Structure 1
Amino acid sequence: MNFAPTPKMLEWQERLMKFVTENVVPAEPLFRKEMEANRAKGNQWNPTHEVMDGLKAKARAAGLWNMFLPASQHGAGLTNLEYAPLCEIMGRYPLTSEAMNCSAPDTGNMELLERYGTPEHKEKWLKPLLAGEIRSGFAMTEPDVPSSDATQIQSRIVRDGDHYVINGRKWWTSGAPDPRCKVLIFMGKTGTVDDPSPHKQQSMIIVPMDTPGVKVERWLSVYGYDHAPHGHAEISFTNVRVPADHLLLGEGRGFEIAQGRLGPGRIHHCMRLIGGAERALELMCKRALVRKPFGKLLSDQGVWRERIAHSRILIDQARLLTMNAAFAMDTKGNKGAKNEIAMIKVVAPQMACQVIDWAIQIHGGAGVSQDTPLAAAYTSARTIRFADGPDEVHLNAIGKSELAKYMAPKVKA
């Protein structure tokens, strides 16, 4: 097992960092001002984003576009291990992901449409997503059931002739308040509800946002942040009719699709969190070297040296564990790497929350204000502790797997 970067990995990292340094970093304050102006007008969901559109044009021209996809699917042809360090850079500078058309939930949705969509689906939805002309959402979580157990999803997808009729309510559908969001991937129960296996009752279906009966009820804040221009929404689906061919892969195969979608997504999330933690540590160190309360630099105080040291240790541990998971996915597949994926999904968000929290503490009031990226980074890191499965579910799975190694094999009667 060798995680040393190959010449190919180094080339991509150098290209990405050059683009970030020359384009993304100068754009950050401009983007913030643009969003502040939109909010002042009560129009934070404005579909026009001059700063981001400019970054996208530059990224495409630089060949830094759809890098998460295999070469055969219009991407860069990178393995999970090769792509992971690029996600870390994107997490350090959050505008980068969308600028390069590599942001969630579009990445996962594009992968689903490429794998399971019909030629018509790909022409209508995948093509504009790949071009960055539209955005998408993933409607899975529901407010009335414990979403840590997706078998309890209650939304229904019922066959009616040449159509499916959809009824239900979803929330935390990321991207839905954004006017650029034109299509959803929706998960619900189909006619397979009588199947004795609860994991074969769910299906996924394509739902255009402009379908009658689809209503964005409200946008949801995260610790007070609206996360515009993308955001998160609660959506109701009332007698929503879509053509039967919009069902992906077949009835009862929703969990199968979800596992393929969430595996790579968790790697991306974790590496982006590591990037965010690296930026928080950088800000922590710079602050410690200039602030001098009570006549002594913070960098000369033992407590802050310890927190800086622990931050370095925690970040490097999380990175190595995540790279190991990426390697396992490349060599064993998503299913074979389920334990490694579960471990990083627990470790990376907890690490990021701790490191960012220390960075906030050393900045005092500035740390929770809009003057640093720390408060926004913390809200994102804290959210990931239950997005794509809460810590407790992953820990339970890891514990069961570990115990199974020491259990006596069952004897067949």
Structure 2
Amino acid sequence: MSDNPFERVPLADLRERTSIKWRFFEPDVLPMWVAEMDLLPAEAVTRAVHDAMLRGDTGYPSGTGYADAFARFASERWGAEVAVPRTALVSDVMMGAFELIRLLTPPGGSVIVTSPVYPPFHAFSKHAERRVVEAPLGADLRLDLSAVEEACARVGGGGSGGPNAVLLLCNPHNPTGTVHTRAELEALAQVTARYGVRVISDEVHAPLVLDADFTPYWTVDPRGLSLTSASKAFNLAGLRTALIVGGEETGEDLARIAEVVSHGPSHIASIAHIAAFDDGREWLDEVLDGLRANRATLARALAEHAPTIRWRPGEATFLAWLDCRGTRVAEPGSRADPGYIGLSTGPAKAFLERARVGLSAGEAFGTGGENHVRCNLGTRPDVIEEAVRRMGAIA
């Protein structure tokens, strides 16, 4: 058996999968887009779900088992303390963010996002009838605190009824793979506090930090709210459940979450995620080693087959943010189309139609995404190699 867990599932078996990653495109397309990894689940997860089904444990979720398991994981991995009473179970990370946006801002309020960023940040905010305000990342793909302060100054200043705006943070950042440092997060907390802006931090990729120190946002901001799940790191997106974790001063906020929100999480999903956090850590370590190897494969393949595509390797996630501005497929008039979950724009369109590689269009990630694509490295190394060879032939 290969040391790289991404080599353990043959390509033919991957093509038999029925989830969106492998069914969205025609069979000749290599799917390198949506955030699913091409892995077998951790044995502990499979066993936990199988046992639950055998005993008929298929009802509604109850208790704090999920929060307890995540608390043990956070303590072991990051030395972070989770106050279980300041947690809430939700159906998934983005639905949790949606509910918090509605809870913390008035209708017509604002959501600050640090673009280029995960497209649902734009889409869910707009669906909540809030205005999206961009505070773009710097050229180094890190938080630009001056841009954040400018955005906060424009939309902050909540009164007695609460803040007018929240900042929706991605930590680690999707699509760049940047891991915000503790110093950056502390500075962010200070800036947002000055303007009465609350921070909601999406930390679903936190277990996938490859070579940096991760700082949970709730540990640096007493009014901060983090969202987490085992879904990305343990490849359980189809088993939906997630957790809100609050800082020291968020108890009243969490108590105001509508009771109906707790109806969304799946009990079987919670069983699976608990097993992942408690008993899947060795599996996760193998995956992290595999991702480091895949990252090296991408670097070598780009240098050999597609040198006009530029890439700053990320510190976390299984996603690569590829800069195609110097390629033949760059579009001079390319514009950001925030929140558009599409693939037929910018270089992604050319790579799909002419190279038969399915990538996420950078334009959907907002300002700074023009003429970029997001590539999923959570797959077989030979698939990465072949995808880059195809892309390089037209780039």
Question: Same fold, TM exceeding 0.5?
Answer: no
> Which structure has the higher relative contact order (CA within 8 Å, separation 6+)?
2
TM-score of the two chains, using structure 1 as the length reference: 0.28
By percentage of residues, which structure has more helix?
A: 1
TM-score (norm 2): 0.28
The structure whose Rg is larger is 1
